[in-house]
A and B are shown apart, each in its own frame.
Chain A
Amino acid sequence: MKAFTYERVHSVAEAVAAMARTPDAKFIAGGTNLLDLMKLHTGPRFLRICVGCGRRHRAAGR
């Protein structure tokens, strides 16, 4: 897998700002498809996760 940096953000605004700084970044969210592709060496150099969005999704499931 290609090396990448990982950045955790805590709000949509932070996520948008971080994405603007690094246009080739990707949101990993649950990660099931992106991580699969990254194992095939086709992934991006940067990863970001939007925690705010993730938590809302989880809360909806409960």
Chain B
Amino acid sequence: MEHPDGLDITRRGFLKAGAAAAAATAVPQHAGARDHANAAPPVSTVSFMVNGTRQTLELDTRTTLLDALREHLHLTGTKKGCDQGQCGACTVLVGGRRINACLSLAVMHEGDSITTIEGLGTPGQLHPMQAAFVKHDGYQCGYCTPGQICSGVAVLWEIKAGVPSHASADIAAQPLLSAAELRERMSGNICRCGAYSNIIDAITEVAGGQA
């Protein structure tokens, strides 16, 4: 298309040229960063099951399990909140137990079986904990919700398995399904919208107690 002032340029051509220029400027910076580190970073191969599917990844050893799930496997249901183990947004299940995926290296999970929020249920077939969160409005913005739900599932397993908490009066006795127990056990999952009471209602219902 001939431009009125003589410049033969299209919008698409302009954007493509812009992107190329941006890439050209980005490359030297990246190379500079590599030089600073003095060598290519060590890489490791790790193989684990994620939501029932075998995954084999070649990763920089520094990659956390959280980044492997989100950036490499594109399972973005697991959220990155603080990235230092304080908020619980990245909670996933490894062998049925909950962990903060941000405080775990992916290479530490060779042979492990990992379940993320995507593996618990689907929109058409919700996990009972997911359904209970919807029913009881156990969220507001929803950012902490995948972690809350994974944590909730593991909490019920922990209680069933007799794992005591700080709120247990007798650590040798079977833990109660009380609100105090649930609040203590869910204290690693922060909800800045403050949906805590509804979250406790949802977990209590799944546990078969009175909501």
Chain A residues close to B by CB (< 8 Å): 1, 3-6, 8, 28, 31-32, 35-36, 38-39, 47, 49, 58, 61-62
Compute how far the CA of A37 lies from the CA of B95 in the bound complex, rounded to whole angstroms: 26
Contact yes or no, B110 A8, CB < 8 A: yes
Compute how far the CA of A61 lies from the CA of B97 in the bound complex, rounded to whole angstroms: 10
Q: Give 15 A-B contacts (CB < 8 Å), ordered by A residue.
A: A1-B62, A3-B39, A3-B41, A3-B42, A3-B60, A4-B42, A5-B42, A6-B44, A31-B104, A31-B108, A32-B103, A36-B103, A39-B84, A61-B163, A62-B161
Q: A35-B64, A36-B85 are in contact. List 6 more A-B contacts (CB 8 A).
A: A3-B37, A3-B60, A4-B61, A5-B61, A6-B42, A36-B84
- Indicate if B205 sits at the interface (CB-CB under 8 A): no
Q: How many whole Å from B113's CB to the nearest CB in chain A? A: 13
Q: Which residues of B contact A35 (CB under 8 A)?
A: 64, 103-105
Contact yes or no, A28 B62, CB < 8 A: no
For chain B, residues 81 to 123, give those with C-beta under 8 angstroms from any C-beta of chain A: 83-85, 95, 97, 100, 103-105, 107-108, 110
Contact yes or no, B61 A6, CB < 8 A: yes
Compute how far the CA of A17 lies from the CA of B42 in the bound complex, rounded to whole angstroms: 22
Chain B residues close to A by CB (< 8 Å): 37, 39, 41-42, 44, 60-62, 64, 83-85, 95, 97, 100, 103-105, 107-108, 110, 161, 163
Compute how far the CA of A32 lies from the CA of B65 in the bound complex, rounded to whole angstroms: 12
Q: Which residues of B contact A6 (CB under 8 A)?
A: 42, 44, 61, 105, 107
Q: Which residues of A contact B62 (CB under 8 A)?
A: 1, 3-4, 38
Q: Which residues of A contact B107 (CB under 8 A)?
A: 6, 8
Contact yes or no, B37 A31, CB < 8 A: no
Considering the complex, give the chain A residue whose CB is closest to the CB of B95.
Answer: A58
Considering the complex, give the chain B residue whose CB is closest to the CB of A36.
Answer: B84
Contact yes or no, B44 A32, CB < 8 A: no
Q: Which residues of A contact B104 (CB under 8 A)?
A: 31, 35
Compute how far the CA of A49 lies from the CA of B104 in the bound complex, rounded to whole angstroms: 12
- Choose among A38, A39, A49 the residue that contacts B108 (Cβ–Cβ < 8 A): A49
Compute how far the CA of A3 lies from the CA of B84 in the bound complex, rounded to whole angstroms: 18
Q: Given that A31-B108, A36-B85, A39-B83 are known contacts, is A3 also in contact with B64, CB under 8 Å in the complex?
A: no
Compute how far the CA of A39 lies from the CA of B161 in the bound complex, rounded to whole angstroms: 34
Q: How many whole Å from A55's CB to the nearest CB in chain B? A: 11
Q: How many whole Å from A5's CB to the nearest CB in chain B? A: 5
Q: Which residues of A contact B108 (CB under 8 A)?
A: 28, 31, 49
